Structure 1
């Protein structure tokens, strides 16, 4: 009762403060679906009026194609215009599997179809694709041709088993990553959805997975994303990172709490010699924290990781990880964006391991001798030049990592606080992508955040001081007609285009609609949109190479008095 009372008080306190330091701002411009359509800066595409769960998007900027996976179909769309000559493959589950699925009591509409959940580039000419196959996962290869002009898109092999590559249940996330014609997947490997695994398959080597039914490794995980990230200059040291959230029992073994995690493995791991045979010998994980700390020291967590986006900076070592979180609290509901520096993530994985004496003991930093090479190190890398295989790891290294897969320290965001917080709104954020924009007065990060109401918020991050930032909502756009929740987003900085999917279909939308801010210089300047500038006649796309004399832009301050001298309120030169 005392704990519940404290939670209620905390909820009232947060409501009253309304997170003053992260006060929600109104968008400079709100565009309905029809308004957006009228700007001629968006396109909508779908195969049917029925919802088909367009959840998997893969961008191939080399061939100018966007590959899309949905129920019973795989598509290849032109990134310049998604509705122009789409290439489509119909790939349903077999009628026998659909009948078996229905007999097993699964949902005929949302379960007993072939929901495409894996699309990866296999080589220069082929894609590797997997679907749920009416609760009987299947995979195949698609010939997409060598060049986009070939207009080739066809299945070129018989279906093969997708077990260990794709979850049986299409409503359970599958994440995947292809490295050198090997597939790495985070999914549930069984029909009942009880055996979660990070698995390597489609390989000429032995298949490898996480330790089975070992809650120290994975505990009812929900997989969010997988990305390969370098660790130094030696390619053998690169790690494959999995982002997930999982349910963890408290120290008393009772209540289950949700923790967000970042886990990693070495792609060249082939398992141990005597222990952890055909299991990862390099698997480690750490907690990702995104929280608000109040004046009294109370820490309120946004604990459910929903999406991540990796943003490269001018210094490759300072890769930024944008994490999108929601709260599982019944007291207050909200979303937050936290930004992590890859250097801080490396520091945590190079720090102390978590150790627990028994099931009712708390985790403490491991104080004993750490075997060599350090557990989690990749074979053949800069730190292990003479150890070319994980089968050469000493037994004590393999035994240690089996019992100590978790790091003691958590990964905290830059400035130990969220970049963006939203509470008590009628929406939650679902997806995030980020663009780096060079404006007249510096570089800015522009966030595109998808919501469960089918809208996109375009937000610019403004430097406030050394320890904080401000954020400004430039636009809010209804990109789907029926407020369908956004399930996937991809970005092309090269094309200046955003690609968004939901149950309804896919929408392509431009980064900028400068003319919607108004017809006067002051309107354009007050918008503070780094993509837009006053060119002397109208609010138009900003180009760094344009004549300096004729452009007016002030993202940092948005001061029309300094920028619009020589123009009257209507924007005409005096």
Structure 2
């Protein structure tokens, strides 16, 4: 295993890791390969699956101007537990993303292969996040949705059933997502009622509310959707009806009340506690400017995050059309309300800054 890890500079591109402590193995996604390391036998040769892109896909990638060695291959970027015996994996597929299930015995189930669009990025370098939850194989993913990487969205797709079934954030609507870089996603229950379960996604994006003179300012975000969201109606079919986002503030006080904000969210870690509804969220942030460069770790309770989603939300107002706190009458149903699966009514949720 040490020989494998030491060759990471050879272009294998290790990016996806999946640890199974009970069975003492570590699965590693790489360029055209999935490796399985046996932790209780460190000297044992790793098992591997060879999963390359087809020659046609590699040639198409090359003709599109991509680098054959560093881009035109199947870089495995996602490894998620699928069931007790299989792992769900996705790769870039030489800029044609592909997903499939592999047995823990290191055999790829070829008939399970399906499109990875909306689940895995086209590029081996682009940041993304994905989470596979539930018995129905619900995949929540924040990723680019086109070859150029110019459009990104937060999706829900289903591993089982209809491949084309999905829900996503709205396209070409900057107030939903504006040049996002996704970092992590977690399923966290709000109450003991499973119909209240939410998925939280963490990312950074170019902030619209920073003003027209500071269009490139980055803000860290946490967004939330309800797991039982069935999408909107009419023009919002296949679009989230419960998507809300709030700013993640990580700052230190300075002289005369100034604040130094760490807005470049780089990573996020969920620390489970005895109460499944209230884990702790650790965020790793950086800041870089002409005046100051540094990093910080900020810790958030779920109570604080839920309070943000229960607070006021923002809209554009005034002669300069700035984003300000909305103080008018909140419409019903409020943004973020959860509709029961039976369609018998609405469950109350609060709006967030968005």
Does the TM-score normalized on the shorter chain lie above 0.5?
Answer: yes
Partner of 1:273: 233
The reply on whether 1:364 has 2:324 as its aligned counterpart is yes
Change (3 A) 1:330 1:100: farther
Change (3 A) 1:370 1:127: same
- Deviation, 1:200, is 1.3
The reply on whether 1:199 has 2:155 as its aligned counterpart is yes
Partner of 2:146: 190
Partner of 1:324: 284
Q: Distance in 2 between matches of 1:63 and 1:70?
A: 21
Q: Distance in 2 between matches of 1:303 and 1:137?
A: 30
Contact 1:45 1:82 in 2 (8 A): no
Q: Render the CA deviation track for 1:367-404: whole Å, top value 9, x for unaligned.
A: 23334454323333xxxxxx6359x769xx9xxx9xx9
Partner of 2:86: 126
Q: Distance in 1 between matches of 2:343 and 2:124?
A: 36
- Deviation, 1:343, is 0.7
The reply on whether 1:103 has 2:63 as its aligned counterpart is yes
Change (3 A) 1:295 1:254: closer
Partner of 1:153: 106
Q: Distance in 2 between matches of 1:258 and 1:345?
A: 20
The reply on whether 1:242 has 2:201 as its aligned counterpart is yes
Change (3 A) 1:46 1:317: closer
The reply on whether 1:66 has 2:26 as its aligned counterpart is yes
Q: Render the CA deviation track for 1:37-94: whole Å, top value 9, x for unaligned.
A: xxxxx95633846131111112223433222111111122224355534221011111
Aligned to 1:129, what secondary structure does the other structure show?
Answer: strand
- Deviation, 1:347, is 0.6
Partner of 1:221: 180
Q: Distance in 2 between matches of 1:253 and 1:295?
A: 25
Change (3 A) 1:254 1:304: closer
Partner of 1:113: 73
TM-score, normalised by the number of residues in structure 2: 0.89
Q: Distance in 1 between matches of 2:319 and 2:343?
A: 33
> For this pair of structures, how many residues does the alignment match?
346
Q: 1:305-454 alignment to 2 at 5 Å?
A: 305-357=265-317, 360-380=320-340, 388-389=342-343, 406-407=352-353
TM-score, normalised by the number of residues in structure 1: 0.56
Q: Render the CA deviation track for 1:472-521: whole Å, top value 9, x for unaligned.
A: xxxxxxxxxxxxxxxxxxxxxxxxxxxxxxxxxxxxxxxxxxxxxxxxxx
The reply on whether 1:56 has 2:16 as its aligned counterpart is yes
Partner of 1:176: 130
Q: 1:26-41 alignment to 2 at 5 Å?
A: none
Higher normalized contact order (CA 8 Å, seq sep 6+, divided by chain length): 1
- Deviation, 1:278, is 0.7
- Deviation, 1:189, is 0.6
- Deviation, 1:124, is 2.0
Unaligned runs of 5+ in 1: 1-41, 145-151, 381-386, 409-574
Aligned-residue CA RMSD (Å): 2.7
Contact 2:11 2:70 in 1 (8 A): no
Contact 1:167 1:188 in 2 (8 A): yes
The reply on whether 1:94 has 2:54 as its aligned counterpart is yes
Q: Distance in 2 between matches of 1:272 and 1:374?
A: 14
Aligned to 2:56, what secondary structure does the other structure show?
Answer: helix
Aligned to 1:296, what secondary structure does the other structure show?
Answer: helix
Q: Distance in 2 between matches of 1:277 and 1:358?
A: 32
